[in-house]
């Protein structure tokens, strides 16, 4: 395992290790956060989207049908903490002699077939700061015996400082633990989230950096079994709350074995109105799942419709399941949600 400032840094290094560059194509799910796409764009890699069903699962047949002479890797994400079934994708990659990249950014602490996620891909990336109260922290795990572990980047000391505090504020805001006014100053307004910009620009890409010393210590000290158990408890409580309200629909029918919830995702018809209403109660709920970004020069299928992903992206909202969420906070949010749908 190698630690970096962010998951995107780990990915950027991992792509280099896999030898991926301008002549290569990678299959990616048609919904990914922009910083992941920027890492590919910065390397000039050609991208081809594949579809997912409304439960974020890929179809292996579809993946196979999209493989072309330049395809060098398939990218699989464990969306929102729910482990994606990897065996069939692994078998496909082995059969075709291409690499498998596993994104565990949403799924730290998750297990699949009894083992931790991140052990099936040739490489796997992590973003610990999405689960732990730390300012930075991403990881690259190298599983393929054909690949050497990259050189470790120096741990940054004394650099978390103000930037770290800002990041922590933004993070706490993102899961609804801080008053809206505090975080609006750092993250922009709710409106900027509801209107994602499609013009990605890799020009301002910051080269990979090492993790801060503080975050590295915190990651090593975290009891992930307990963290995951608490998040699963919060997830179950939301299942009950949402079942009692007419309107919002849970994205996943159940809490899967091994799932380490990133959030409790719901689909809401009037999503934007709902997000604005919650912000007036002081809850900053993120849409979380991006629609397919299309204005990417190296994207092979920019006009292909992906209706399932577009619909999910238009209606999804994340409710917080963070391990430090209190019963009082959850009750207040549940009250605001019930009031909206009444
Ligand atoms: C699925 C996914 N992978 C990777 C990342 C990158 O993680 P980081 O923010 O640590 O760079 C993100 C989001 O930020 C993400 O949503």
Q: Which of ligand 1's atoms lies nearest the C-alpha of 103?
A: 3
Q: Sorting pLDDT into bands at 50, 70 and 90, what band is 196?
A: confident
The pLDDT assigned to 146 comes to 94
Q: Say if ligand 1 is within 6 A of residue 212 CB.
A: no
Q: What is the mean pLDDT of residues 141-152?
A: 94
Interval between CA 56 and ligand 1 midpoint (Å)? 16
Q: What is the mean pLDDT of residues 237-248?
A: 97
The CA angle 229-231-234, to the nearest 5 degrees, is: 110
Interval between CA 127 and ligand 1 midpoint (Å)? 6
Closest to 106 (Cα-Cα) out of 33, 172, 41, 5? 33
Interval between CA 107 and ligand 1 midpoint (Å)? 11
The pLDDT assigned to 160 comes to 55
**Per-residue pLDDT tens over the stretch 102-145:** 999 999 999 998 899 999 999 999 999 999 999 999 999 999 99
Q: Where is pLDDT greater, at 210 or 191?
A: 210
Mean pLDDT for the chain overall: 92
Q: Say if ligand 1 is within 6 A of residue 33 CB.
A: yes
The pLDDT assigned to 250 comes to 97
Q: Which of 97-106, 160-169, 209-218 has the lowest mean pLDDT?
A: 160-169
Alpha helix segments (H runs only) across 260-324: 271-280, 307-315
String of DSSP letters for 215-253: HHHHHHH--HHHHHHHHHHHHHHHHHHHHTSSS-EESSS
Residue 182 confidence (pLDDT) above 80: no
The pLDDT assigned to 2 comes to 97
The pLDDT assigned to 188 comes to 58
Atom 13 of ligand 1: nearest residue by CA position: 33
Q: Sorting pLDDT into bands at 50, 70 and 90, what band is 191?
A: confident
Q: Say if ligand 1 is within 6 A of residue 48 CB.
A: no
Torsion angles phi and psi, residue 53, rounded to 5: -80, 180
Residue 215 confidence (pLDDT) above 70: yes
Q: Sorting pLDDT into bands at 50, 70 and 90, what band is 286?
A: confident
The pLDDT assigned to 177 comes to 60
The pLDDT assigned to 164 comes to 62
Q: Which of ligand 1's atoms lies nearest the C-alpha of 129?
A: 10
String of DSSP letters for 18-56: TT--TT-EEEEES---HHHHHHHHHTT-EEEEE---TTS
String of DSSP letters for 137-169: -EEEEE--TTSPPPPPPPPB-S-SHHHHHHHHH
Residue with tokens 């430090």: 324
Tally of CB atoms within 10 A around 94: 10
Q: Which of ligand 1's atoms lies nearest the C-alpha of 5?
A: 10
* E-state strands within 70-197: 71-77, 99-103, 111-112, 115-116, 123-127, 138-142
Q: Sorting pLDDT into bands at 50, 70 and 90, what band is 193?
A: confident
Q: What is the mean pLDDT of residues 143-163?
A: 83
Residue 97 confidence (pLDDT) above 60: yes
Q: Say if ligand 1 is within 6 A of residue 106 CB.
A: yes
Interval between CA 182 and ligand 1 midpoint (Å)? 23
Atom 16 of ligand 1: nearest residue by CA position: 33
Tally of CB atoms within 10 A around 177: 19
Q: What is the mean pLDDT of residues 166-170?
A: 61
Q: Say if ligand 1 is within 6 A of residue 84 CB.
A: no
Q: Sorting pLDDT into bands at 50, 70 and 90, what band is 171?
A: low
Residue 64 confidence (pLDDT) above 70: yes
Q: How far apart are CA 286 and CA 264, in angstroms?
A: 11
Interval between CA 328 and ligand 1 midpoint (Å)? 29
Residue with tokens 């013009």: 199
**Domains present along the chain, CATH in parentheses:** 2-142 (3.40.640.10), 224-341 (3.90.1150.10)
Asked if residue 298 lies in contact with residue 43, where contact means CB atoms within 8 angstroms, the answer is no
Q: Sorting pLDDT into bands at 50, 70 and 90, what band is 184?
A: low
Q: What is the mean pLDDT of residues 248-265?
A: 96
Residue 185 confidence (pLDDT) above 80: no
Q: What is the mean pLDDT of residues 168-184?
A: 57
* Beta bridge pairs of residue 249: 267
Task: For residue 269, give the DSSP letter.
Answer: T
């Amino acid at each position: 395992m190698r630690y970096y400032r962010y998951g995107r840094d780990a990915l950027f290094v991992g792509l280099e290790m896999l030898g991926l560059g301008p002549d290569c194509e990678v299959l990616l799910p048609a919904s990914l956060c922009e910083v992941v796409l920027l890492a590919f764009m910065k390397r000039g890699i050609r991208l081809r989207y594949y579809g997912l069903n409304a439960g974020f699962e890929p179809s292996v047949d579809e993946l196979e049908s999209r493989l072309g002479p330049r395809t060098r890797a398939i990218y699989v994400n464990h969306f929102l903490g729910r482990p994606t079934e990897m065996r069939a994708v692994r078998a496909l990659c082995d059969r075709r002699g291409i690499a498998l990249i596993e994104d565990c950014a949403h799924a730290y602490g998750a297990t699949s077939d009894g083992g931790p996620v991140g052990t099936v891909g040739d490489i796997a990336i992590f973003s610990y700061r999405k689960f732990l109260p730390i300012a930075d922290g991403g990881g690259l795990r190298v599983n393929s015996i054909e690949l050497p572990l990259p050189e470790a980047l120096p741990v940054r000391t004394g650099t978390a400082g103000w930037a770290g505090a800002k990041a922590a504020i933004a993070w706490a805001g993102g899961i609804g633990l801080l008053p809206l006014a505090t975080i609006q100053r750092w993250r922009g307004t709710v409106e900027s989230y509801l209107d994602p910009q499609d013009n990605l620009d890799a020009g301002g890409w910051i080269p990979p950096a090492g993790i801060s010393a503080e975050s590295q210590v915190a990651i090593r000290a975290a009891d992930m079994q307990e963290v995951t158990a608490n998040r699963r408890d919060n997830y179950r409580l939301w299942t009950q709350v949402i079942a009692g309200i007419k309107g919002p629909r849970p994205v996943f029918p159940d809490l899967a074995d091994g799932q380490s919830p990133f959030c409790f995702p719901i689909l809401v018809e009037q999503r934007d109105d709902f997000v604005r209403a919650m912000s007036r109660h002081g809850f900053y709920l993120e849409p979380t799942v991006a629609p397919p970004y299309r204005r990417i020069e190296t994207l092979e299928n920019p006009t292909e419709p992906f209706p399932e992903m577009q619909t999910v992206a238009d209606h999804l909202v994340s409710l917080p399941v963070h391990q430090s969420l209190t019963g009082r906070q959850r009750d207040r949010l549940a009250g605001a949600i019930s009031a909206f749908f009444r």
